[in-house]
């Protein structure tokens, strides 16, 4: 069950421990004690519960990032196989993990002021998205206030209707058939930019190989859903 934010309540666990409750019926069954806070943030999506429970790495970090983002009153969804957080149905941030780090990705991060100089452009080919990377939960805790400030700024960017001015890729050429789909489908563009650089290049190389436009277009259409699911060409 998904529940909306309620007020903080005491809870019988370790002092200052923060507990996330997914079922509002649990609250009435709890013995209230002093020294612990109960937080029921925004709306918690069961699909994200499953994503985190199945994650082979970064579970604790994902949970902490989730709490911070939901505290900013965003809507939690699962898109492209990862937790994604939206404001009025527009994508603001997502959480993803890699071998060496996990990260929060700001969908329009290129438009943020980045007052602390911590945003990372995953590769020079990624034009809109920007990451903040972490290797342990302590780094996330230390930057909690900064993360919230960046998230609120990202929400204001979305409210203002600002758009990233995309430039043509100079390192390698995206086939016209694929570029057209990216331009027509913002979700596809976001999903593609959320992929690792290696997965992006694999798709572009595969889509570019056929000499005939019809064949290139067929390949793109065949793998669009796989990209939207956050999967690589051979995953």
H/E run at residue 93: strand 90-97
> Distance (Å, rounded) from C-alpha 96 to C-alpha 83?
7
Strands 82-87 and 37-40: unpaired
Whole-number pLDDT of residue 171:
55
Same domain, 89 and 146: yes
Q: Considering only CA atoms, which of 105, 107, 88 is closest in space to residue 97? A: 105
Same domain, 53 and 153: yes
Same domain, 153 and 50: yes
Same domain, 9 and 69: no
Do you know the residue count of the chain?
Answer: 235
Which of 108, 132, 159 is where one domain is finished? 159
Same domain, 115 and 88: yes
Q: Is residue 170 part of a domain?
A: no
Per the listing, tokens 């943020």 go with: 112
Whole-number pLDDT of residue 203:
92
Same domain, 198 and 216: yes
Whole-number pLDDT of residue 110:
93
> Distance (Å, rounded) from C-alpha 22 to C-alpha 45?
9
Which residues in the chain land under pLDDT 50?
A: 1-41, 169-170
Which of 98, 132, 159 is where one domain is finished? 159
Q: Considering only CA atoms, which of 168, 176, 159 is closest in space to residue 214? A: 176
- Total domains, the chain: 3
pTM here is: 0.63
**Which CATH number characterizes residue 102's domain?**
3.90.1150.200
Same domain, 186 and 150: no
Same domain, 150 and 51: yes
- What is the end-to-end Cα distance of the chain in Å, rounded? 31
Strands 37-40 and 18-20: parallel
Listed in sequence order, the residues at least 6 apart from 210 whose beta carbon sits closer than 8 Å to its beta carbon are 216, 219
Q: Would you state the structure tokens that stand for residue 175, as one six-digit string?
A: 């086939």
Whole-number pLDDT of residue 7:
36
User: Domain range for residue 137?
Assistant: 46-159
Whole-number pLDDT of residue 167:
65
Same domain, 36 and 91: no
Which of 159, 192, 216 is where one domain is finished? 159
């Amino acid at each position: 069950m998904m529940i909306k934010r309620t007020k903080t309540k005491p809870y019988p666990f370790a002092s200052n421990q923060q507990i996330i409750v997914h079922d509002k019926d649990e609250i009435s069954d709890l013995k209230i004690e002093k020294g612990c806070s109960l937080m029921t943030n925004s709306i918690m999506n069961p699909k994200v519960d499953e994503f985190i429970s199945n994650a082979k790495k970064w579970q604790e970090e994902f949970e902490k990032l989730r709490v911070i983002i939901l505290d900013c009153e965003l809507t939690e969804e699962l898109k492209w196989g990862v937790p994604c957080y939206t404001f009025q149905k527009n994508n603001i941030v997502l959480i993803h993990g890699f071998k060496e780090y996990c990260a929060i990705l700001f969908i329009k991060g290129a438009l943020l002021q980045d007052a602390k100089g911590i945003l990372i452009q995953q590769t020079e080919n990624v034009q809109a998205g920007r990451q903040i990377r972490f290797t342990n939960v302590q780094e996330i805790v230390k930057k909690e206030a900064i993360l919230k400030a960046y998230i609120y700024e990202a929400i204001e960017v979305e409210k203002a209707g600002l758009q990233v001015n995309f430039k043509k890729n100079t390192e390698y050429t995206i086939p016209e058939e694929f570029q057209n789909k990216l331009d027509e489908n913002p979700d596809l563009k976001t999903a593609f930019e959320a992929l690792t650089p290696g997965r992006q290049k694999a798709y572009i190389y595969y889509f570019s190989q056929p000499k005939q436009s019809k064949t290139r277009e067929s390949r793109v259409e065949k793998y669009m859903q796989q990209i939207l699911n956050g999967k690589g060409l051979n995953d």
